[in-house]
Amino acid sequence: MALDRKIAYIDLSTGKSEIKPIPLEVRKKFIGGRGLDAYLLFNNAPQGCDPLGPENTLIISGGLLTATCASATSRTHIMAKSPLTGLLGSTNMGGFFSAEMAWADFHHLVITGKAEKPVYLWIHNGQIEIRDAVKLWGKSSTETQWAIREELGDQEIKSAVIGQAGENLVTYANVMTGIKNAGGRTGMGCVMGSKNLKAVAVRGTMDVKIAHPLEALEFNKKFIEQITTAKVNKTQGTLGTHFIWGATNSWGGIRTRNFQFNQMENADELEPESLDDIATETMGPYHMTGCFGCQVHCRAQYRIPSGPYAGIYNEGPEYTSFGAFGSEPDCNKAETVLTANYLVNQYGVDNLEIGSIISWAMELYELGIITSKETDGIDLRFSNADALIEMIHRICTRKGWLGNVLADGGIPASEKIGKHSFDYLIQVKGMNNLHSDERATPGLALNIATSSRGSDHLRSRPAIDLYHLPESVLRKIYSSPVPYEGPLSSDSMEYIGKPWQVFWQENCYMAVDSIGICKYHTTFLGATLPNFEDWPRAIYLNTGLELTPKDIWDAAERSNNMERLFNLREGLTRYDLVKGDMLNHRYFDEPCLRGAPDVIGIMIDRKKFDVMVDEFYGHHGWDKEGVPTQATLTRLGLEQEPTHLL
Amino acid sequence: MAIENEKVSASESLRKTRTYGKVRCMNPSCMGRLEPAPGSMQITCPVCGMSYRLFWVTPELPRIRGPVWEVNRKLAEEVMAKKKLEASKDGSL
Ligand code: SF4
Ligand SMILES: [Zn+2]
């Protein structure tokens, strides 16, 4: 059965591993994927552990429905204590890796310890081997994957690997699989590097017994129809996530020049439609590729058109790369974005974080807080594309004073640079914000301030109200599976009712990450895409597990509380600008200067924001400090944690 | 079993509300539905004056490509000037 996939506990210090089943009770409580990872992390990583020490616990998992007959369920989730934030580290990537791991009999790998020299894990049909990776050290993310296939003589092997950024302990290094699937937030590649773990290679040919195979396939057809007929997915399948960048920039919801502005004007060359003319192989329905079991195919394939990397093949770039290497540093050439996107994929580093940190350094340079002495002569002004590319190389290889300092992440770098540099760092919990500007959307501002892994648009993102739907439609979505009669406004610029939306979406995405589905197949992109009510049948037909929408909601709420408990244990406090649920002062003090007429002059209202946080904590059953009350823990069955049941 | 087979979920029932051939004005409080002529490359919102460039994903599915930059800049400057004037009047500037 799909439910039979196991947990492998691997200690890289001793070279020993142990395989355990996942009891049904634990499945029902945490579902799988991210939810169960949160439970495993809380119970296995010791309080206060060094993120780069052997005791940090790295967990790699697939979701409950991964490798079944349910489409778009091959997300891989990775969790550990984050070297970037010192709090919850958690990241999620697409591709084929977790499906292959499930066919090899595993749903979760719990990796502790540190190997003496570089190694990689070879996991195949229930077997676990630790193999020498000295020859792989120094290779890029794609080279590593090819070298492993070559060495083991099987082109079907899927590997989750680190590039040079992970080896060099850049605190926001990625885990990569395929050309561009990136577990790219909170530095999970850095944790792998600290363990001398270059890669995890998997290959599986074991049967997955589906509970009701014919019905599962039949039901999946309905699901596919629901997904592929959505307007948003037709656009996504033609232009990729890049289209969201274009749309957001239209009304002034983007960040540019390190948050000084909220729209990149005259950005025509960066618009998704322009790329067909620029890159030699990109965009359009026939140049899109996708993850295992997906019918949307949201990512473009391209060749870099000119410059030193001309002709090189790559995939993407996503919304985030257009923000990180286009709007944020104010570089308006597509070639810059395409080149930088290729480099970060090969080095294995978070495009969002590196783009933000370089743009922050650009503002510091223009303000005179850092000078050409610190930059080793690089003219680090905004719009200098050569400087941007050079800084990517320097950070990933820790070259030069500034490259080395920025490789440690924003908060440690601000401590070293000093001189109010922290004030210009646009971050939450030590993680840089997405390249969008949330001042005109208080719900999104609340979302990024309170998200469990630092500023984050993938943990809640109550964006359905951006579609300007009638309130009745919003109520239909947000009143299931738990009835909600409080205020709800379909105005995206409102504060009223937004805490419920953030809370609801938070549970929704925890469920999504636990089942293992791609967010583009859920309410992330629109009201007509599946959510709680649609998942139980897919789960039942594929696994035989009977869960109601409310059961899934409860498991998600429980798992969100596990993440909260982990963060509180590691030092989160509500108003702390470094480790709390707070936003940079620019959100409250500096108005939007560009965009649509309604957006001009807008800021976040500090008092209303505070009320939203109170309300949000209230929905969770947390006190005014954001700590779960005893009643909440008891209601969710978490009063005995840590339990070490697994 | 606990799973209801034929019940239509909220997301499924909302599929009926999907509209093709139209875009929404992206000025947050305006949101007017705009119906561009098939194949047209530009449209102006009659309510708030925002002008947009268009792209056709399919012949039935238009999307806003981006604003017409000059119009966008002009409207933004007008709003900023008005806000500054109001602020100077009520003493907050
Ligand atoms: S929509 Fe995109 S990211 Fe999601 S599964 Fe499909 S190809 Fe992968
Ligand atoms: Zn309008």
CA of A469 to the centre of ligand 2 (A): 15
- Best residue in B8, B14, B22, B26 to probe A by mutation, most A CBs within 10 Å? B26
DSSP code of residue A434:
P
Would you place residue B92 in the very low, low, confident or very high pLDDT band (cuts 50, 70, 90)?
low
Using CB atoms within 10 A of its CB, is residue B77 exposed (0-12), middle (13-18) or buried (19+)?
exposed
Residue nearest to atom 7 of ligand 1 (CA): A290
pLDDT the model gives residue B89: 81
CA of A531 to the centre of ligand 1 (A): 17
Provide residues with CB under 6 Å of ligand 1: A 72, 94, 290-291, 294, 296-299, 518, 520
Q: Do A250 and B66 touch (CB under 8 A)?
A: yes
Report the 10 Å Cβ neighbour count for A575.
11
The answer to whether A339 faces chain B, any CB pair under 8 Å, is no
Would you place residue A150 in the very low, low, confident or very high pLDDT band (cuts 50, 70, 90)?
very high
Helical residues (DSSP H) of chain B, grouped into ranges: 10-13, 69-89
Q: How far apart are CA B4 and CA A328, in angstroms?
A: 48
- Please say whether the beta carbons of A171 and A378 come within 8 A: no
Residue A614 has pLDDT above 60, yes or no: yes
CA of B87 to the centre of ligand 1 (A): 47
Q: Concatenated DSSP letters for A587-615? A: HHHS---SSSTTTTT----HHHHHHHHHH
- Please say whether the beta carbons of B14 and A472 come within 8 A: no
CA of B61: which chain A residue's CA is closest? Answer: A231
The SS3 of residue A102 is: helix
Residue A405 has pLDDT above 60, yes or no: yes
Give B2 to chain A, closest Cα distance, Å. 6
DSSP code of residue A325:
I
Which ligand sits nearest to residue A92's alpha carbon?
1
Q: What is the mean pLDDT of residues A98-103?
A: 97
Residue A103 has pLDDT above 60, yes or no: yes
A458-479: pLDDT as tens digits: 999 888 888 878 888 899 999 9
Higher per-residue pLDDT: A526 or A312: A312
Q: What are phi and psi of A245, to 5 degrees?
A: -60, -45
Q: How far apart are CA A245 and CA B65, in angstroms?
A: 10
Q: Do A476 and B14 touch (CB under 8 A)?
A: yes
Q: What is the mean pLDDT of residues A495-521?
A: 96
Q: How far apart are CA A179 and CA A175, in angstroms?
A: 11
DSSP code of residue A243:
H
Cβ-based neighbours of A196, under 8 Å, separated by 6 or more: A12, A114, A115, A116, A117, A118, A119, A133
Q: Which helix (H) or strand (E) holds A62?
A: strand A58-62
A24-56: pLDDT as tens digits: 999 999 999 999 999 999 999 999 999 999 999
DSSP code of residue A3:
G
Share of chain A above pLDDT 70, in %: 100
Q: What is the mean pLDDT of residues A134-150?
A: 98
- The two tokens of residue B88 are 């100077």
CA of A536: which chain B residue's CA is closest? Answer: B3
Q: Concatenated DSSP letters for A454-468? A: BS-SSS----GGGG-
A535-566: pLDDT as tens digits: 999 999 999 999 999 999 999 999 999 999 99
Would you place residue A646 in the very low, low, confident or very high pLDDT band (cuts 50, 70, 90)?
confident
In this structure, the dihedral spanned by the alpha carbons of residues A64, A66, A68 and A69, taken in order and rounded to 10 degrees, is 110
**Which residue type, as a one-letter code, is found at position A75?**
R
Residues from chain A that touch B28, judged by Cβ atoms under 8 A, are: 251, 440, 491-493, 596, 598-599
ipTM: 0.90
B2-53: pLDDT as tens digits: 455 567 888 888 887 777 889 999 998 888 889 999 999 999 999 999 999 9
Residues from chain A that touch B20, judged by Cβ atoms under 8 A, are: 231
Q: How far apart are CA A91 and CA A326, in angstroms?
A: 23
Rama region for A30: left / alpha / beta (φ>0; ψ in -120 to 50; rest):
alpha
Instruction: Give the closest of B1, B26, B78 to A596, CB-based.
Output: B26
- Best residue in A265, A522, A590, A593 to probe B by mutation, most B CBs within 10 Å? A265
Q: How far apart are CA A255 and CA A321, in angstroms?
A: 13
Residue given tokens 């396939």 in the structure block: A217
pLDDT the model gives residue A123: 98
pLDDT the model gives residue B6: 63
Residues from chain B that touch A234, judged by Cβ atoms under 8 A, are: 57-58, 61
pLDDT the model gives residue A540: 96
- Please say whether the beta carbons of A202 and A104 come within 8 A: yes
Would you place residue A627 in the very low, low, confident or very high pLDDT band (cuts 50, 70, 90)?
very high
CA of B49: which chain A residue's CA is closest? Answer: A597
- The two tokens of residue A409 are 């992440």
pLDDT the model gives residue B2: 47
Would you place residue A1 in the very low, low, confident or very high pLDDT band (cuts 50, 70, 90)?
low
Cβ-based neighbours of A221, under 8 Å, separated by 6 or more: none
